[in-house]
Amino acid sequence: MRVQHRHIIYIQGYDPRGLAQYYRMFRTELRKFGRLYQLQASIGRPKVAADDEIASWTIDTKAEDWQTRTSYDFLRFEDFIQQDLASPVWRTVFNAVWIYWRLVFAGTIGRFGKANWRFATFITYPHLMLLLEAAGAGAIAFVFEKGLNAIGIPDTFSIAIAIALFVALLGTVLKYTENATYVLYLLCDTIWTWEFSHRERPEWDQRIDRFAQHLIKTAKSTDADEIVIVGHSSGSFLSTEMLARALKLDPALGRHGPRIVLLTIGGNFPIVGYHAVSTEFREHLRMLAVEPSIDWIDCQARKDVMNFYQFDPITSHGIDVGALRRNPKIVPVRFRDIILPEHYKKFRWQFFRVHFQFVMANERPNAYDFFMIVCGPVPLSDRMALPDAALDIATGDSGARDRAWKRIETATMTAPGTAQSAADLSKVEPSARRSG
Tens digits of per-residue pLDDT, 239-253? 999 999 999 999 999
Q: Do residues 116 and 303 touch, judged by C-beta distance below 8 A?
A: no
> Does residue 223 have a pLDDT over 50?
yes
Can you tell me the mean pLDDT for 292-320?
A: 92
Please confirm whether the linkage preceding 46 is cis (ω < 30° from 0): no
pTM, rounded to two decimals: 0.89
Per DSSP, what are the bridge partners of residue 294? 260
Please name the residues in contact with 403: beta carbons below 8 A apart, sequence gap of 6 or more.
392
Q: Which CATH class is domain 5-79+201-429?
A: alpha beta
What is the model's pLDDT at position 419?
41
DSSP 171-230: HHHHHHTHHHH-HHHHHHHHHHHHHHHTT--HHHHHHHHHHHHHHHHHHHH---SEEEEE
pLDDT tens digits, 126-163: 999 999 999 998 899 888 888 888 888 887 888 888 88
What is the model's pLDDT at position 216?
95
Band of residue 30 on the pLDDT scale cut at 50, 70, 90: very high
What is the model's pLDDT at position 124?
92
Candidates 131, 207, 145, 216; CA nearest to 174 is 131
H or E element: which one contains 416? none
Q: Do residues 269 and 285 touch, judged by C-beta distance below 8 A?
A: yes
Q: How far apart are CA 306 and CA 232, in angstroms?
A: 11
Q: Average pLDDT over the chain, rounded to whole? A: 89
pLDDT tens digits, 389-428: 999 998 988 898 889 889 988 874 444 444 444 334 334 4
- pLDDT over 70 percentage in the chain: 94
Per DSSP, what are the bridge partners of residue 61? 41, 68
What is the model's pLDDT at position 422?
39
> Does residue 430 have a pLDDT over 90?
no
DSSP β-ladder status, 40-43 and 54-62? antiparallel
If one compares 349 and 367, the residue with the highest pLDDT of the two is 367
What is the model's pLDDT at position 200?
92
Q: Where are the domains of the chain?
A: 5-79+201-429, 87-193
Q: Do residues 316 and 270 touch, judged by C-beta distance below 8 A?
A: yes
3-class DSSP assignment, residue 386? coil
Q: How far apart are CA 414 and CA 99, in angstroms?
A: 46
What is the model's pLDDT at position 323?
92
Q: Do residues 314 and 321 touch, judged by C-beta distance below 8 A?
A: yes
Band of residue 180 on the pLDDT scale cut at 50, 70, 90: confident
What is the model's pLDDT at position 427?
40
R_g of the chain, CA atoms, integer Å: 24
Most confident of 47-51, 107-111, 228-232: 228-232
What is the model's pLDDT at position 248?
95
What is the model's pLDDT at position 315?
93
Band of residue 329 on the pLDDT scale cut at 50, 70, 90: very high
